[in-house]
Structure 1
């Protein structure tokens, strides 16, 4: 069961990682300007903040949550293909709206899928399975952009969107076969809406399904806000991920600035993804000693700050390029364990009946934070790349400070 889960997770997340860059390239090829593609990417990511909490609540209510994840995969794929078919035929505003609708389903491919892991493995195997699940994010982050570059170079950006859609469709059968959730005795049944004003027996009816859903949405946010570990991990990761976006935007520019070749910037991102994958593979093999995920989250955030500061030094001093490679590798060694630790905290602290909400809400907040960081990084990097990278390092320090403040009783 775990192997089927992992195969589906890798396919879905690789397709997801491909979708944004592929839309960027498709929009650029059609218009000759990066603006349409960047707006499509913004629409695809920014709407996750709205979709995540609602998706989580629906997943927690579903007896077969895997089927809901499967439908989300199909809907996300349909949105991508609709945007692709509309490029050059429909107004940009309409295409951005379609991308935003598809983006509402995006958290199901990340947090929504991960929240089903306890249904797949027994509790004594969850820690190792969580590390393997985090590796699937790293594999997708490494393979997705590289696949877009290869497919676009061989054919076109439009073909890269099609390949992304094929991978998403390939993941749907794995999602469809995820295990059924066992009934939760702590969750009361939601009474059906009666046909009359007071029902057939003259008794005033209980709360409607919509009211119960609103209460569960509030309960999901409340669980994150009240639980000290969840609150601390969520705030820290959201601030940190905003800084990670600065690194992703700045790395191609840094490679081009130091070597004169944009391809070396892509190499820096590949180094980061490979280092993250290596670090998480090492974590997955740990047997006798396993550090507390909370500690790993704090240390890895500080390490990310050091990596961004090192990249800023490379930008300000003009190299050497090896210094930028070292910064990229250090960022990956921090980013991989940080994600593993974050997922471990959520698995440990999330109540079973609110697990889906907590994972999808956390994923949507991170995606939205990333979108904001990317939007800010562009103008900053145009002004001064070193300043932009220092701002990313400052965000990591801010995240570590938030961790410390939220650790005080």
Structure 2
């Protein structure tokens, strides 16, 4: 039997081609609006609480209630996402967020907003937030071919990095210009616009695959067990959590280092804010660069290299007692972080059964961030003893992330053909499960 000839690899899609792919502009617009609203919301709520209730404790609790409930229900949210469809789930989250923030604004304007009411509404808002966090990342693989995953993810992550910089600045400017209550209304309106953007999606790719319906709790548990049994996802969970410990330590160590290095020559908050803005902008550049250069099958190598080089950016480069070297180290760290995030997201998408992608994405995102609060707590203890020690430990966790990725995450299976033009295929991986029989993915435009 003669084997069929293998076609020559096609030229990878450019960023312009990805941006003009059917449904991608609507998806990026919705993601950008909802993320900008979320980034502004945290800042607006904290400033609002400090101005209205004059309570730093309540401000901290507000941030807590905006995040923790969503983390706890992420397996259930992932199962719901797979059941109702990613597009519908994201629209639902945006509309619920708009209604709840609108209620906060109305109660505040009427003088009926108590701390208990505020925390209740924020907690309810957090419950649906995993739907957008996992849903947006679930939709991209349905609208672009496999060989465009990296560039689509790079566009997604680069906009997110920029929004992380712009969001707090926009939140502060809006409050200063129009006041807290109108600022809340503006955030609610942005959530509505994000939902409307997804209503413009066209084609059957936005519809969820039809599968046997089981109890929602059972489907949620299956998402957790699938992640534990999948060698790639399990390795990513531990490796990226170690990397998040590094990031958490830096969040505490950098302002302390800035305070020591400026030595009364300026405001610590301004210098620290400028440095983190630099990290965000470099992260966007790193994501776009990785999306242009990365090829399918190289994500594991990218994870190992970027996490290992991050250790050098942190220590000794960032630990040298000069503000300029700290800025250089953080800029390099941001570039590497942006590239790392593209590789992690693409690897997770490619090695996950597409029928479970919603559940796996929401659970993975939540588990991968566990290391961040651990890092912030550890960073506070370390900087009290020594700033250099804090940077050294942060670098150590980055090296641990690289080592774990090298030892645990499976290599590309031998003999796997590269992704080619034409009909995109999703390769099978150990523990990834079987694709849904009879279900094929289409190229953009439905051709």
Which range, TM-score by smaller chain?
Answer: 0.7 to 0.9
What is the aligned counterpart of 1:278 among 281, 285, 288?
285
Q: Are the aligned partners of 1:52 and 1:361 in contact in 2 as well (CA < 8 Å)?
A: yes
Give the direction of change, closer, same or farther, for the CA distance of 1:73–1:265 in structure 2 (3 Å limit). same
Counterpart secondary structure, 2:73: helix
Aligned residue runs from structure 1 range 1-400, under 5 A: 1-62=23-84, 64-83=85-104, 90-154=113-177, 156=179, 160-178=183-201, 179-180=203-204, 181=206, 184=209, 187-188=211-212, 190=213, 209-210=214-215, 213-259=216-262, 260-261=266-267, 262-286=269-293, 292-310=298-316, 313-314=319-320, 317=321, 320-374=322-376, 377=379, 386-400=388-402
- Please list every run of 5 or more consecutive structure 2 residues that lacks an aligned counterpart in the other structure: 1-22, 412-447
Give the direction of change, closer, same or farther, for the CA distance of 1:231–1:4 in structure 2 (3 Å limit). same
Alignment partners' CA distance in 2, 1:369 and 1:157: 33
Give the direction of change, closer, same or farther, for the CA distance of 1:374–1:383 in structure 2 (3 Å limit). same
Q: Are the aligned partners of 1:13 and 1:140 in contact in 2 as well (CA < 8 Å)?
A: yes
Q: Are the aligned partners of 1:256 and 1:263 in contact in 2 as well (CA < 8 Å)?
A: no
- Displacement of 1:312 in angstroms is 5.7
Alignment partners' CA distance in 2, 1:359 and 1:154: 38
Q: Are the aligned partners of 1:80 and 1:165 in contact in 2 as well (CA < 8 Å)?
A: yes
- Please list every run of 5 or more consecutive structure 1 residues that lacks an aligned counterpart in the other structure: 191-208
Q: Are the aligned partners of 2:223 and 2:359 in contact in 1 as well (CA < 8 Å)?
A: yes
- Displacement of 1:375 in angstroms is 5.1
**Structure-1-length-normalised TM-score:** 0.82
- Displacement of 1:57 in angstroms is 0.9
Counterpart secondary structure, 1:116: helix
**Structure-2-length-normalised TM-score:** 0.75
Report which of the two has the higher share of helix: 1
Alignment partners' CA distance in 2, 1:184 and 1:391: 45
Alignment partners' CA distance in 2, 1:34 and 1:308: 31
Alignment match, 2:14: none
- Displacement of 1:388 in angstroms is 4.4
Return 332-341 or 370-379, whichever deviates more. Answer: 370-379
Q: Deviations over 1:7-29 (max 9, x none)?
A: 11111112222222222222223
- Displacement of 1:70 in angstroms is 0.6
Superposition RMSD in Å? 3.0
Give the direction of change, closer, same or farther, for the CA distance of 1:250–1:102 in structure 2 (3 Å limit). farther
Counterpart secondary structure, 1:243: helix
Counterpart secondary structure, 1:350: coil
Return 175-184 or 29-38, whichever deviates more. Answer: 175-184
- Displacement of 1:117 in angstroms is 1.0
Give the direction of change, closer, same or farther, for the CA distance of 1:76–1:351 in structure 2 (3 Å limit). same
Give the direction of change, closer, same or farther, for the CA distance of 1:378–1:169 in structure 2 (3 Å limit). farther
